[in-house]
């Protein structure tokens, strides 16, 4: 199945194509090879392939995508309500339990109360602001900034904005537009998304180049807040659960809500914490979820051949952090902005990425589902 396509961008492949990969050749991608390429410009957009009859799995996929899309606004509402219950519980039960339940706290008691209020408010700000940004910030589309181009010129304009080292540019057969490196087609959003990570129904949006930071920071603030809530909520929870204490519940919020919020915080903390750790790993190693699947496979192949695998977007932990948060010598903002829930855009337009050197990419051949 080897074709004339020598090199393909890394993130255009589906992780569920692993079996197909077994038969595909592996290419080494070096900057020297790239510079040596003398490419003819592509002048015409590829023709839309003849539509085939949808199979059962096509229909199931379409139905699942529609369900995920329809569920989005409902899940956002549910998430907002659950977060509100926990936040409300924290400020109306947990804080009063620790700082006004006992009288005569003195200077250090008051200082503790103030610090606690500042820290909790910072976490709430981090959760809400990042959630809002993750939902409202488009993940990034190949048509960003080129929407004014006439239809027939779109293909060329998009192509000129991306780096392409092959005679035949990778093209999405659903959008019929070139696919910049790290781009993938989202079947729920029905468009190609820049530096695509995954589609998240909880934010009713894709996680991609322009909102990955907000998504990661939302997970981080939320899991930290859950941990803090659970620790601080042990006392109030035990009091709420001790039904024999009778009237010993001086808060107007019902004790069952406090018990519910504590259990909820444990559940969210475990789920979101696990996902947060995964996305921190991806961020520190400069990979998207899709790329991680591909890279793991290529790494295995390299090991068999006695070669060392390198991820061409990896600039080391600190370099990757600077890139991700757009801070430090590699970015445009001061380092402390990484700790503030501000709407700071990432480096670059998401269609070209700086490379640290040699990289390996898979050749999927003409039968790749996302290729023409």
* Residues labelled as active-site residues: 200
Give me the least distance between CB of 307 and Zn ion, in Å please: 32
Residues 251-290 as x/- pattern, contact with Zn ion by CB under 5 A: ----------------------------------------
Give me the least distance between CB of 138 and Zn ion, in Å please: 10
Residues recorded for the chain: 372
Give the residues across from 301 on adjacent strands.
none
Give me the least distance between CB of 52 and Zn ion, in Å please: 17
194 vs 240, beta carbon nearer Zn ion: 194
* Site membership for Zn ion, residue 175 (CB under 5 A): yes
* Site membership for Zn ion, residue 185 (CB under 5 A): yes
| E strand intervals along the chain | 26-29, 184-186, 191-193, 198-200, 205-207, 359-362
Give me the least distance between CB of 181 and Zn ion, in Å please: 14
* Site membership for Zn ion, residue 186 (CB under 5 A): yes
**Stretch binding Zn ion (CB under 5 A), from 70-78, 185-193, 255-263, 272-280:** 185-193
Could you write out the three-class secondary structure of the chain? CCCCCCCCCHHHCCHHHHHHHCCCCEEEECHHHHHHCCCCCCCCCCCCCCCCCCCHHHHHHHHHHHHHHHHHHHHHHHHHHHHHHHHHHHHHHHHHHHHCCCCCCHHHHHHHHHHHHHHHHHHHHHHHHHHHHHHHCCCCECCCCCCCCCHHHHHHHHHHHCCCCCCCCCECCCCCCECCCCCEEECCCCEEECCCCEEECCCCEEECCCCHHHHHHHHHHHHHHHHHHHHHCHHHHHHHHCHHHCCCCCCCCCHHHHHHHHHHHHHHHHHHHHHHHHHHHHHHCCCCHHHHHHHHHHHHHHHHHCCCCCCCCCCHHHHHHHHHHCECCCCCECHHHHHCCCCCCCCCCCCCCCCCCCEEEECCCCCCCCCC
**Stretch binding Zn ion (CB under 5 A), from 92-100, 182-190, 272-280, 336-344:** 182-190
Give me the least distance between CB of 120 and Zn ion, in Å please: 33
Give me the least distance between CB of 218 and Zn ion, in Å please: 17
* Site membership for Zn ion, residue 199 (CB under 5 A): yes
Applying CB under 5 A, among 87, 154, 188, 203 the residue interacting with Zn ion is: 188
**Stretch binding Zn ion (CB under 5 A), from 180-188, 262-270, 287-295, 303-311:** 180-188
Look at residues 283, 293, 334, 333 and name the one whose alpha carbon lies nearest to residue 313.
283
199 vs 255, beta carbon nearer Zn ion: 199
Total residues interacting with Zn ion, rule: CB under 5 A:
10
Angle at 290 between CA 37 and CA 128, to 5 degrees: 125
193 vs 286, beta carbon nearer Zn ion: 193
197 vs 314, beta carbon nearer Zn ion: 197
**Stretch binding Zn ion (CB under 5 A), from 199-207, 213-221, 256-264, 326-334:** 199-207
Give me the least distance between CB of 140 and Zn ion, in Å please: 11
11 vs 175, beta carbon nearer Zn ion: 175
Applying CB under 5 A, among 206, 225, 253, 257 the residue interacting with Zn ion is: 206
Give me the least distance between CB of 201 and Zn ion, in Å please: 9
d(CA 343, CA 351): 20
* Site membership for Zn ion, residue 13 (CB under 5 A): no
74 vs 342, beta carbon nearer Zn ion: 74
170 vs 359, beta carbon nearer Zn ion: 170
27 vs 198, beta carbon nearer Zn ion: 198
For 297, how many CA atoms within 13 A lie in the half-sphere containing its CB? 23
The answer for residues whose C-beta is within 8 angstroms of residue 105's C-beta and 6 or more apart is 99, 112, 113
**Stretch binding Zn ion (CB under 5 A), from 195-203, 235-243, 274-282, 315-323:** 195-203
* Site membership for Zn ion, residue 174 (CB under 5 A): yes
Under the rule (CB under 5 A), what is the footprint of Zn ion? 172, 174-175, 185-186, 188-189, 192, 199, 206
């Amino acid at each position: 199945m080897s074709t004339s396509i020598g090199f393909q961008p890394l993130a255009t492949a589906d992780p569920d194509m692993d079996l197909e990969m077994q038969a595909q050749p592996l290419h080494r991608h070096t900057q020297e090879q790239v510079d040596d390429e003398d490419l003819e410009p592509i002048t015409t957009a590829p023709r839309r392939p003849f539509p085939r009859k949808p199979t059962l799995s096509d229909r199931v996929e379409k139905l699942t995508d529609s369900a995920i899309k329809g569920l989005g606004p409902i899940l956002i509402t549910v998430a907002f309500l659950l977060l509100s219950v926990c936040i409300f519980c924290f400020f109306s039960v947990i804080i009063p339990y620790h700082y006004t339940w006992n009288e005569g706290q003195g200077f250090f008691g008051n200082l503790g109360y103030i610090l606690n209020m500042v820290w909790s408010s910072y976490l709430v700000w981090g959760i809400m602001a990042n959630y809002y940004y993750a939902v409202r910030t488009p993940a990034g589309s190949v048509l960003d900034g080129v929407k004014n181009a006439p239809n027939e010129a779109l293909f060329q304009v998009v192509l000129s904005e991306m780096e392409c080292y092959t005679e035949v540019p990778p093209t999405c057969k659903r959008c019929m537009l070139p696919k910049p490196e790290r781009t993938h087609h989202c079947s729920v959003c029905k468009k190609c998304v820049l530096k695509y990570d995954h589609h998240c129904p909880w934010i009713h949006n894709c996680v991609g180049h322009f909102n990955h930071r907000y998504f990661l920071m939302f997970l981080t603030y939320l899991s930290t807040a859950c941990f803090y809530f659970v620790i601080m909520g042990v006392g109030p929870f035990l009091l709420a659960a001790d039904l024999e204490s009778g009237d010993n519940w001086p808060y107007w919020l019902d004790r069952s809500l406090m018990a519910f919020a504590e259990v909820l915080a444990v559940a969210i903390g475990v789920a979101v914490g696990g996902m947060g750790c995964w996305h921190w790993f991806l961020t520190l190693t400069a990979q998207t979820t899709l790329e991680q699947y591909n890279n793991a496979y290529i790494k295995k192949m390299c090991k068999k051949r006695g070669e060392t695998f390198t991820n061409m977007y990896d600039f080391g932990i600190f370099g990757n952090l600077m890139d991700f948060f757009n801070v430090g010598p590699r970015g445009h903002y001061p380092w402390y902005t990484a700790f503030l829930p501000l709407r700071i855009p990432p480096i670059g337009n998401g269609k070209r990425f700086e490379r640290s050197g040699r990289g390996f990419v898979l050749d999927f051949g003409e039968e790749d589902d996302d290729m023409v």
